[in-house]
Amino acid sequence: MDVMIENLKSESENKKEPIMKKLLRIHQSSGMHWVGDGFPVRSVFDYNGLGRELSPFLMLDYAAPYQFAPGNERRGVGAHPHKGFETVTVAYQGELEHRDSSGGGGKIGAGDVQWMTAGNGIVHEEFHSADFTRTGGPFQMVQLWVNLRAQDKGAKPGYQTLLKAQIPNVPLPQDAGTVRVIAGEFDGHKGPAKTFTPINLWDVNLRAGKSAELPLPDGHTTAFLVLSGKVTINGDREAGEGDLAIFARSGDSITVKANTDAKLLLMGGEPIAEPIVGYGPFVMNSRTEIQQAFEDYQLGRMGELVS
Ligand code: MN
């Protein structure tokens, strides 16, 4: 008898209805601008605008598909510093090469991700790969900045290359599409990225006419960028290419229906409840720390790129 009651109990617990995270709003990205001569990006958000609301995420730049002609000179951004956070670059089309003062670096192409910890201070450069420069072709990338807690802002700089083959591609129920788990966990599959605080970063591919319910932790910041296609969110609002859907932290699930084939970058994470003081490539907790970062960079304390 007791066993039966236990079974009934656990069954009803399993069937507990998910609580939908409310869609707060759909935020449009800005017009295109160039970062160096290699990255035609739209600013989706930055720490001055939505840094608090979207904590731990500080900035999102979206390089929508752009056709580069074959060239001889490599295109990109030369040596520049970062401190106090992590930069995450997701490549969809084209190839990128990074090199940094900690000795890190590598090449990423379609489906690969670069997760760089600026931590205590790093100098790096970001360029199209030599091969891609030569051949030209379509280019599409995202760069996301992830904040670090005050206690981690002094972390040793680091570099993770996450190749496509290491990133689990998990099928959704009812043949609705797939979720590539870059960081965090989906349906028991863990992403390869090592993160300082709990983060889910998923590359979601949905098939036209299908719906997916995505479980996401209660209390976590949750948003997704539509990279292509059109979707209906929580059975209500529609979002299209370049739109950022921002959800309430409370609740443990969102529902997305694809009106066409659609591609989303979903980011979720535990908010960091600390002051955000940023200036250009540095994001710290106080103005004093920003001044210190400038001084450290000018005095060469963030290292340099050895040619
Ligand atoms: Mn950079």
CA of 101 to the centre of ligand 1 (A): 12
Strand-pairing partners, residue 154, are none
Tokens at 196, concatenated: 């300082």
Residue 70 has what DSSP assignment? P
Q: Which of 143, 144, 139, 145 is nearest to 64 (CA)?
A: 139
At 295, which helix (H) or strand (E)?
Answer: helix 287-298
Q: Rounded to the nearest whole angstrom, what is the distance from the C-alpha of residue 124 to the centroid of ligand 1?
A: 6
Separation between Cα atoms, residue 288 and residue 217, nearest integer Å: 35
Answer whether 108's CB lies under 8 Å from 90's CB. no
The encoded tokens of residue 55 equal 């904590």
| 67 CA to centre of ligand 1 in angstroms | 22
Is the model's pLDDT at 158 over the cut of 60? yes
Mean pLDDT of the residues in the chain? 94
> How far apart, in whole angstroms, are the C-alpha atoms of residue 230 and residue 241?
7
Within a 10 A sphere around the Cβ of 6, how many other Cβ atoms?
A: 10
Distance 21 CA to ligand 1 centre (A): 33
pLDDT of residue 68: 97
Q: Hunting for tokens 């030569």 — which residue is that?
A: 134
CA distance 29 to 45: 7
Could you tell me the two tokens for 249? 């932290």
Rounded distance from Cα 104 to ligand 1 centre (Å): 13
pLDDT at residue 30 in the model: 86
If one counts every other C-beta atom within 10 angstroms of the C-beta of residue 304, the result is 10
Round to whole Å and give the CA distance between 167 and 27. Answer: 28
pLDDT tens readout for residues 268-303: 999 999 999 999 999 999 999 999 999 999 999 999
How far is the centre of ligand 1, averaged over its atoms, from the C-alpha of 177 (Å)? 32
pLDDT digits (tens, 9 = 90+) for 49-86: 999 999 999 999 999 999 999 999 999 999 999 999 99
Can you list the alpha helix ranges (DSSP code H) found in 117-158? 130-135
Q: Which pLDDT does position 1 carry in this prediction?
A: 44
Higher pLDDT, 234 or 201: 201
Q: Give the integer Cα–Cα distance in Å for 202 and 205.
A: 10
Q: How many angstroms is it from 145 CA to the middle of ligand 1?
A: 10
pTM of the predicted structure, to 2 decimals: 0.94
Which whole number is the average pLDDT over 225-249? Answer: 96
Q: How many other C-beta atoms can be found within 10 angstroms of the C-beta atom of residue 130?
A: 12
- Which residues lie closer than 8 Å to 39 by C-beta, 6 or more apart? 61, 63, 76, 77, 126, 141, 143
How far does residue 16's CA lie from ligand 1's centre (Å)?
Answer: 44
| Integer Cα distance of 109 and 94 in angstroms | 6
More confident residue, 7 or 182: 182
How confident is residue 18, by pLDDT bands cut at 50, 70 and 90? confident
* H/E element, 291: helix 287-298
Band of residue 176 on the pLDDT scale cut at 50, 70, 90: very high
Q: How far, in Å, CA of 214 to CA of 228, rounded?
A: 18
Task: Compute the distance from residue 82 Cα to the ligand 1 centre, in Å.
Answer: 7
pLDDT band at 37 (very low <50, low <70, confident <90, very high): very high
pLDDT at residue 183 is higher than 90: yes
Cα(98) to centroid(ligand 1), Å: 9
**Quick one: how many helices (H) and strands (E) in the chain?**
3, 26
